Amino acid sequence: MTLASPTHFKADLRAMRFTLYEHLKVDRLFALERFAHLSREECDAVIDQAYRFASEVTGPLNSPGDRAGARLEGGRVTTPPGFREAWKKLFDLGLMPFTIAAEAGGFGGPNAVGVILQELQSGANTAFQM
């Protein structure tokens, strides 16, 4: 695996949580049958996990990934070193399928929380998120 450089990515989780719970009142969704399997604490834990992942995995891949770039050779796309492993880990952690319905293999989380998860990844490494 490629040695990743340090990341300077920071996110204001307090502001994100304020937006989710005080402004958007996302925690009201947990009273609905569709989201009854969730709680604010569980969503906060998922957000914390996404922030750790962005800070420790995708953030450090940002600069080396920009330098290496993706390549198209012989009809195959090759991503920068570390991207493939990071994508696998992102899915293994359940962060990507968070908003996908449980019947379709996801976790069935609210889209508002999914936007926060995407924003964390995009802020740490836009090329990876795209």
Q: Residue-wise pLDDT tens for the chain (130 aa)?
A: 545 566 688 999 999 999 999 999 999 999 999 999 999 999 999 999 999 999 999 999 999 998 999 999 999 999 999 999 999 999 888 888 899 998 898 899 999 999 999 999 999 999 998 8
- Please compute, for residue 87, the number of CA atoms within 13 A of its CA located in the half-sphere on the CB side: 9
* The pLDDT of residue 9: 85
Ramachandran assignment for 108, one of left (phi > 0), alpha (psi -120 to 50 degrees), beta (any other): left
Kindly tell me the burial class for residue 112, based on how many C-beta atoms sit within 10 Å of its own C-beta (0-12, 13-18, 19 or more).
Answer: middle
* The pLDDT of residue 95: 86
Given a contact cutoff of 8 angstroms between Cβ atoms, the answer to whether 75 and 25 are in contact is no
pTM for the predicted model, two decimal places: 0.87
* The pLDDT of residue 94: 82
Q: What angle do CA 121, 123, 125 make, to 5 degrees?
A: 65
* The pLDDT of residue 96: 84
